Every structure is written in C-alpha cells, then in structure tokens.
Structure 1
C-alpha cells in the first residue's frame, strides 16, 4: 500500500492506474480535484444539485476514458476547472432556453387554441388597424412589423421621438379597445 500512495502523487500515474481499473487511484484523483471542480460549477450555476450532477458526469467520464486526459496542457487540475466552467455555461444555456419557452404566456381572454376564435380575433384586429389614421398605421407598422425603435421612426418621419411614441401608444390603446373591448 505505501508503494501505491507514493505513485498517487502524480496525475499521469493516477490516470495510468485508473486506466487499469484501479479504484483507489480514482478515489485519490477525485479527492484531489472534486472540490475545485465543484467550486467552479457552483460559482457558475448557483445551484448545488446541478453542480453535483455535472461533477459526477465529469468524473464518470474520467473513469471511462482516462487516456483522454493523459498529457493535458497546463496540468489536469487547471484543465478540469476549465472543462467544468464550459460544461456549466452549456448547462445554463440549455436551462435558459427551456425557461424562456416555459415563461412565455399570452395575455388574452380568448382560447387561442380554438381556430374559430383565433380567426375572429385576427379579423377584428385587421378591422381596428384599418380604422387608424394613415400616419398611425404607418408608424405602427414600422414599430411592430419592421421592428424599428422610436428614434429610428422619428428619423424616418422627421417627427420628434416623443410624438412617435405618443402615436404608437394611441394606436395600441385603440387596438386594445377595439379587439378586446
């Protein structure tokens, strides 16, 4: 056993022993780097169970394919920290996309899944947009269909941004009264 303990001082030796299926070497590697990896994961994710899950995945990957970690540049500890950071960022991106989709809600008193109601609402909206003055329709279209900002519309129309903002607000209020009222 003292012979193994001396061998466990070097990361490359640990990885070679892990490659042979040495569980003691794997435990030593885990003891050496788990706290660093977990700290990086927790700092990025701010969620302990997510950090623990990725930590486990990383060390299972090392156990399954230790040869991929032999000779990493800058040392195994630094490399694991960078890998942990990258995996945490990827998890955040996946989570934020899922949360964005889950957080979307439509504010409407209508059941939009019903095609007849959706058609009726669209028809009423078209009728209300047609009632707007030509200038209001033009500014409304630039804002909502072309995606222009108040400032950009003001530059195009030659009007003050405050007037553009007021016209868009008035158009929205008219549409809300006509389609939902």
Structure 2
C-alpha cells in the first residue's frame, strides 16, 4: 500500500516531464521567416525593436504574435512608491500581443519575460509603475483575433548594458522562446 502511495506521484511527475518538448529559441521575425528558402542563412535578419515573432504555446490553439514595439532604457518611476533599489534602474519594453490562435490567451506576460545584459546575466520582470507607458496588469486575457499593448518592467543594475529581450508564452514554460536583439 505504501509503495502505491509513493509510486503514484512519481509516475505523475515522470509523465509531466516527458510531455515537455525541447525548448527552442527563435530570433527570426515573422517577415524574415517568409523569405524564400534559397536565401542564405546569413541573410536572415535577427528580430529587433519593431519586429514581430509569432510564438506557440503548449496548447496547439494558443498562438500569439508578439511585437516588441518600444524600449525604455531608463524610465523614471511614475510615483514615490515605485523606485529601484540603490545602484539599480528601471528598464522597460512595450509589447503588442495579438492572439492569432483559436483559443484564448490568459496569462501574465511578465512571467515569461527576461532581459539579458552584455555579461550574459538574465533579469526577471518586476512590478513597478514607470513613466512612458502603462504596465500590463497581473493577468491579461486576449480572445482570438484581439490584441493588447503594455509594458513589462525590469530592475537592472545601473551599469548593465541590456542587449537582448526574451519572451515565452505559458508564463515562460512554453517550449518556443522568442528573442529580440536590442543593440
């Protein structure tokens, strides 16, 4: 009896882990991925500010076209309650997310968002109000065909040179990750 009690959760964990696919990172914007196969791989453009990458969620019905529309390298705090800790500054990206799948998207965009600096350090998003745009609320729900715009805010060291933005659906757990170059 005790073996069954222990074995059942272990089998569940193994099933969940084996159901996960292989993570991939794409930095090819949607318009560049439509180029003919005859073009040389070196001719492919990396996604940058203004580029859209369509990302797939774990559910086949979940597809979102994510456009990195704007970068705020040093946005000011919007109020006295949103201030970075000493030696840090805010950094923000504005995303336009269009649900191009058939199912509803319901998630917190900040959970799957990271910025990476020139020293390969990765930073998670934070909750802070900054000037220059409106941060996504905790959870965003987007029906098929609809879109939302909002900021994802990060707190990074003042000296950090942010060079990449990375994003994934499903609170960052989707296998496909989009990556934009910020230089």
The interval holding the TM-score normalised by the smaller chain is under 0.3
| The structure with more strand, counted as a fraction of residues | 2
Query: Which protein has the larger Cα radius of gyration, Structure 1 or Structure 2?
Result: 1
Question: What is the TM-score with the length of structure 1 in the denominator?
Answer: 0.26
Comparing both structures, which one devotes a greater share of its residues to helix?
1
TM-score by length of 2: 0.26
Larger relative contact order (CA 8 Å, sep ≥ 6):
2
